Amino acid sequence: MENSQSNDKPSAPLYLIPSRIAETEPLEVLPLSIKKVVGSIDHYIVENEKTSREFIKKVNPSKSQPSLHFEIYNQYTEASEIPKLLAPCLDGQPVGLISDAGIPAVADPGADLILAAHQAQIRVIPLIGPSSLILALMASGLNGNQFTFHGFLSAEKTQRRKKLASLDKKAQKGETQIFIESPLRNMKVYEEILATCDSETLLCIASNITSPYEAIRTQSIKEWSKTEIDLDKVPSIFLLGSSHG
């Protein structure tokens, strides 16, 4: 009696690969396990092929560049394209998802792709790496048990100030409020925070995280109003909160 054998291949995982968030050597902020995983993957879904190639080369210099296959995935990617991006996994080839900076799908594209992987019974494996949001929260001294990340605030001034007033009220109740801004608008938003928030609200500004120029400081709005700071073009995370002791 002949043994019947299925032609179906078991699916391979989708790895969520963190990248550096500052111009430091990747293996100074990433575990060595990243090097091993990168060495085992030839198919990548990335925001930018050039920066991803450079990242892979720095993490694993012995990795053959000509063997690599890249598919672009960003905020402009249509949902109809996602099955093609995940096709190698279903064919038994592991795929790595890499953001330009930080960890995939957190303040970066990736959530829709990852959800589609789950729906296709593809195993999703997140790898350890630096998240500017979590590192800022860790170092802020603000409530790490209750917090909300709001992404970018509105680019429209009136709406932005209204949102800041709402976040300030929540912060005063002890829930840490986290948001980011384009480095080009940092100073404008900083000035609006000082003008809008209560003088006793605590503000943490975490800039250039993991770089040699890293600066993280938490103090009251009243104290910030007396502090000279230049955030122009400086990548920063803003956190509003209160004393929770």
The string of pLDDT tens digits covering residues 89-136 is: 999 999 999 999 899 999 888 999 999 999 999 999 999 999 999 999
Reported as a single tens digit per residue, the pLDDT across 207-237 is 999 999 999 999 999 999 999 999 999 999 9
* Mean pLDDT estimate for the chain: 93
CATH class of 14-126: alpha beta
pLDDT of residue 3: 39
- Supply the pLDDT for residue 191: 96
pLDDT of the residue at 169: 97
| Neighbouring-strand partners of residue 95 | 14, 43
CATH top class, domain 132-241: alpha beta
Sorting pLDDT into bands at 50, 70 and 90, what band is 1?
very low
pTM for this entry: 0.89
Sequence ranges of the domains in the chain: 14-126, 132-241
Q: How confident is the model at residue 9 (pLDDT cuts 50, 70, 90)?
A: confident
